[in-house]
Amino acid sequence: MGNTTRHWMPEGLKYILVSSLAFALMSSCVKLVSTYDIPVLQIVAARAFISLLLSYAVIRRKGIPVLGNNKLLLTLRGVAGVIGLMCIFYALTILPLAEANIIQNLTPVFTAVLAISLLGEKVHRSTIACIALSLIGLVITVKPGLLVNSATDLPATGVIAALFGAVASAIAYTTVKKLSTTEDSSVIVFYFPLIALPVSLTLLGTDIVMPEIEALVLLILIGVLTQLAQICLTNAMRVEAANRVTAYSYIQIIFSMILGGLLFNEIPSVWTWLGGSLIVTGALINVFGNVRKQSQVSDMKTRTT
């Protein structure tokens, strides 16, 4: 049975499907637990606490220094991650599940812009196409009233929060790309909860709400599902090319649409489908454009050696 499964489904695809489903379920849990009047900062703190314990256990098992080498850049990664998570969690409490995930998937666009400006990467046609299609898709998704008067726009507060979350996540990803040459991946992951927990608890102050049993279970699930998603994503990156992992990961939007309909009776509008399709198309053009560019560079090196 196992050999049959491996034959028709690549191992990397299995990992990314589980990761995407776990991320979508985590988003659903965030949206559900917010109905129990649990503050967003408390949700962030609960998620960080579980992640801190699990990440620390992994580092101890590896026997590597807990705080890493480049502490300044690691701290920046942690701060950006905290801001991104707070904004994304807040957006999930306001926006429909599918729309929040679509806007969150603008992270690759902002990452491409930051890579050009901060890491000195070259501007390619695929990147320009990605940015253009994603911006058009964003406008169609959040502001369809510009095209059709009868269309309903998304709440501005939720959209702004989701966009800030995507930008902060892009900063975190760009920092991770820089850190990956000097730091163990477990240390990079560890810095997020290391900073997120004290920051969220400090900002939360005395506004902590004692959760009911159902809310407590959801808070625990948020941490566990996030850790499961990250582990599966890491395994997918280990056994599959990064471009394919990125392409596969957009299945999370489909999972979010299904869960939004089942749990919250949210039916995506035609504008969500159209705008989301443009955003995903733009991202995939950039992914496969980069693959083609790398292939051409590799061919050039082969010919000159």
Domain membership of residue 10 (yes or no) is no
pLDDT band at 301 (very low <50, low <70, confident <90, very high): very low
pLDDT band at 287 (very low <50, low <70, confident <90, very high): low
Domain membership of residue 12 (yes or no) is no
Task: Return d(Cα 1, Cα 33) in angstroms, integer.
Answer: 38
Domain membership of residue 224 (yes or no) is yes
Task: Please write the tens of the pLDDT for every residue from 167-207.
Answer: 888 888 778 777 877 888 788 888 888 999 999 999 998 88
Task: Return d(Cα 243, Cα 286) in angstroms, integer.
Answer: 10
Q: Choose among 139, 160, 169, 184: nearest CA to 276.
A: 139
Domain membership of residue 4 (yes or no) is no
Give the pair of three-digit tokens for residue 53.
Answer: 């314990």
Domain membership of residue 2 (yes or no) is no
Whose tokens are 């009868």? That residue is 150
Task: Please write the tens of the pLDDT for every residue from 80-124.
Answer: 888 988 999 999 999 999 899 888 878 767 776 776 666 566 667
Task: Return d(Cα 146, Cα 150) in angstroms, integer.
Answer: 10
Task: Return d(Cα 210, Cα 36) in angstroms, integer.
Answer: 10
Domain membership of residue 51 (yes or no) is yes
Give the pair of three-digit tokens for residue 11.
Answer: 């191992």
The tally of domains found in the chain comes to 1
Task: Please write the tens of the pLDDT for every residue from 13-69.
Answer: 788 889 889 989 999 999 999 999 999 999 999 999 998 998 899 899 988 888 888
Domain membership of residue 18 (yes or no) is no
Phi then psi dihedrals of residue 220, to 5 deg: -65, -40
pLDDT given at position 122: 66
Chain-wide mean pLDDT for the chain? 81
Domain membership of residue 17 (yes or no) is no
Task: Please write the tens of the pLDDT for every residue from 263-281.
Answer: 999 888 888 889 888 888 8
Domain, as residue range, for 204: 23-300
**Mean pLDDT: which of 40-49, 144-153, 224-233, 234-243 is highest?**
40-49
